[in-house]
Structure 1
């Protein structure tokens, strides 16, 4: 009997140690946000601003050293297939290798692109068969994404972000079907995260089905600062108990349009192609130096050509 009790105690302690290790504080933190528009911080007005990833990075920097925060790997509209393709890019692999914290938002676009929403009358329509097919495909892609992330970022804790109900303005009679599908998506994300040794971050209860204050635009599924704050705090509850983004810590809005982002990217590209002072031609050695500088700054030349807002923080 004593031997059995001792065995059970040892097993309990070993399980406790494993659970603690999967959510340990990373010092210094090297945080990369990967995925769709939520990871990028898209606003209800189709701009890019502070999102949950930015608020997570902000809270990390308030409490511990932070070496890097990047959301270069986040792009509005990305499906799980798009995220998988991005993860497999060589430049992405180089960036991910430096990470010790990764958040992943992927799956909602696989489902929500099938939903026809009419904000004028609050109606929602979708085809169940198409939805089931899309969710099954998302399941496989999420499994592959997490497998690739484990290979590319062996030192990183991976947090799979869940999703909220994105249609709080819809008629009550229209909500049940889509809410059920979002619930299935969250179950898929949680199950695949568990299989891969990742950590699932549930956010649906923080929103509920009537979170009009967090998703204020009837014609848009993206949250405002309040919604992103709720998502960040759900992550922080998993990462470090007691760390919270308070209301007073929310930054002032500073949205940027996609046109401005692309213009910034073009200006950076032009600045990286300086002509040789003697010949007037771009020098090969300069190009090599630029490439080296980009690698050192962890700014990969990704195929998408998209430059998300990015903050590279020095080690504190």
Structure 2
């Protein structure tokens, strides 16, 4: 009769085989990880070697660049970097270049390429998808917006259009000064408060828009993240924009009913609505 099989021997052989298979899988996984790391470092080195002609700048991490080292106020962080790396700097992340006040004048004015810049998530929510003179791409629509901005908003006609509001605020200022006869008056403070009172309804919302636009947002640097709105920047901007939009809607509806003021002149809002209606841009 053949000898009876030893069950302990089979158990030991199976466990040894399992250990051998597990160790081989671990070795393969480790080898694959090492190869991925080396390939990533090699590609990163090749990418950096192609940009030898770029100006100096701060060193960053491979994936996130210098983003983790920026402060809450981007303009202050870039100003500090400009003091170290002069007027022109190169950021590691996305290889974009940041210009200082003096170094950025000529490219921004003379090069059309720099007129097209990627808007942030907050800027897209604020400008209704980039329909703004600051974030719209260069083209016929942007040129028409620039023409309207220079001819209407920065011209003497705009000052004439706000004549009534300015006159009322100046009258209030004179009454306040008349009531303080015999006392020292700080004319600068009174003039400043007069100007502030003209825009008091927009002051809080405008300050909030400025803060949100300058807030660092990780979704602006990684294209896959804006849909999730991790930091809630888009949600905050839409809320502030909705409040200002309601004021604009009331003004637009009022101008639709009567586009001519008391002096028989067509207002800026009416002219803009007319251009939009006829698709001039």
Measured against the shorter chain, the TM-score band is under 0.3
Q: Give the structure-1-normalised TM-score.
A: 0.21
Q: Give the structure-2-normalised TM-score.
A: 0.23
Q: Which has the higher contact order (CA 8 A, sep 6+)?
A: 1
| Larger fraction in helix | 2
| Bigger Rg, which one | 2
| Larger fraction in strand | 1
